């Protein structure tokens, strides 16, 4: 029989070790995720482990890790220091979780997914197989990241965002606050946002980006915007609330699409500084956009 002290409340609880666990491995008790526990009475935080956790024997859980009840960590997964896995979180086989990550309740991180450092992943989300997230990312609740998608650094996405398979957002060299979209941001398979230049992008609300479409860096979007497939939006663009942009179109660098504008399919608007308003008919062109 051992005892442990909750650093935050000063309360002590007793627990019994079963199997091959010892004090340093933070055996399972009904502990509070986010509180600190000193299992071996050395004055340092050893973390906590919930009563019903399932941890593969190949997994090393560093001291100080916070594991809520019902957490699952599968074969070959790796955890950095300062990780918090809230109740019901699942870490897939060979997934890599860096330092100081918080994974929300019920969120599933797929096999071979990679999370960098200092990320805050909301509850009931999904990070699919082979997806890669860099550092300093905040994802709202119920967000899904598709197969082999890539998210750079300093990205904040709102609740119910959905990033499709092979989609890309930002880059590793982005500055703090570079991408902020309360959304939800919906990106279809193979779409891309701000993958070069400053890696900066902001939106005020819901944005839907179709398959294989892209948005350049330093662009500012409003809310309730829909962009169809195979469309390219250049850098330093501005798109207003409730705008619609059709498939197979090109909006060049520095173009402004006004609120409530509708751009039909196969449109090429390339002159920087132009403001697009109203209805733009199918096939309209003001020149050839630079590649």
- Render each residue's pLDDT in the chain as its tens digit; 291 residues: 333 444 444 444 443 333 333 333 444 444 566 566 665 567 776 666 766 788 999 999 887 788 888 899 999 999 999 898 988 999 999 999 999 999 999 999 999 999 999 999 999 999 999 999 999 999 999 999 999 999 999 999 999 999 999 999 999 888 889 999 998 999 999 999 999 989 999 999 999 999 999 999 999 999 999 999 999 999 999 999 999 999 999 999 999 999 999 999 999 998 888 899 999 999 988 866 655
Furthest-apart CA atoms within the chain: distance in Å: 79
Q: Which residues of 209-245 are buried (b: 16+ CB within 10 A; e: fewer)?
A: bbbbbbbbbbbebbbbbbbbbbbbbbbbbbbbebbbb
Smallest CA-to-CA distance from 66 within 114, 31, 110, 97 is with 31
pLDDT of residue 11: 46
The model carries a pTM of: 0.85
pLDDT of residue 67: 85
Query: How far does CA 245 lie from the centroid of its chain?
Result: 26
Smallest CA-to-CA distance from 66 within 101, 94, 98, 96 is with 101
pLDDT of residue 10: 45
Give the Cβ contact number of residue 95 at 10 Å.
25
pLDDT of residue 5: 42
């Amino acid at each position: 029989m051992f005892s442990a002290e909750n650093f935050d409340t000063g309360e002590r609880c007793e627990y019994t070790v079963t199997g091959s666990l010892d004090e340093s491995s933070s055996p399972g008790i009904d502990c509070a995720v986010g509180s600190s526990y000193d299992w071996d009475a050395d004055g340092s935080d050893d973390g906590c482990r919930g009563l019903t956790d399932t941890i593969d024997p190949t997994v090393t859980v560093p001291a100080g890790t916070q594991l809520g009840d019902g957490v699952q960590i599968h074969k070959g997964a790796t955890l950095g220091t300062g990780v918090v896995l809230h109740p019901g979180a699942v870490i897939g086989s060979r997934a890599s979780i860096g330092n100081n990550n918080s994974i929300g309740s019920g969120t599933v991180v797929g096999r071979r997914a990679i999370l960098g450092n200092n990320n805050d992943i909301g509850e009931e989300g999904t990070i699919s197989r082979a997806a890669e997230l860099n550092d300093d990312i905040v994802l709202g609740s119920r967000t899904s990241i598709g197969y082999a998608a890539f998210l750079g650094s300093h990205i904040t996405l709102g609740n119910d965002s959905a990033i499709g398979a092979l989609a890309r957002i930002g880059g590793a060299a982005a500055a703090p606050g570079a991408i902020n979209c309360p959304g939800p941001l919906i990106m279809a398979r193979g779409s891309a946002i701000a993958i070069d230049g400053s890696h900066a992008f902001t939106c005020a609300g819901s944005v839907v980006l179709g398959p294989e479409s892209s948005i350049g860096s330093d662009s500012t979007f409003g809310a309730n915007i829909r962009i169809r497939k195979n469309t390219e939006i250049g850098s330093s663009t501005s798109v207003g609330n409730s705008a619609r942009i059709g498939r197979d179109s090109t909006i060049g660098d520095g173009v402004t699409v006004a609120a409530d504008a509708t751009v039909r399919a196969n449109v090429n608007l390339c002159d920087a500084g132009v403001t697009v308003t109203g209805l733009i008919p199918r096939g309209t062109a003001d020149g050839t956009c630079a590649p």
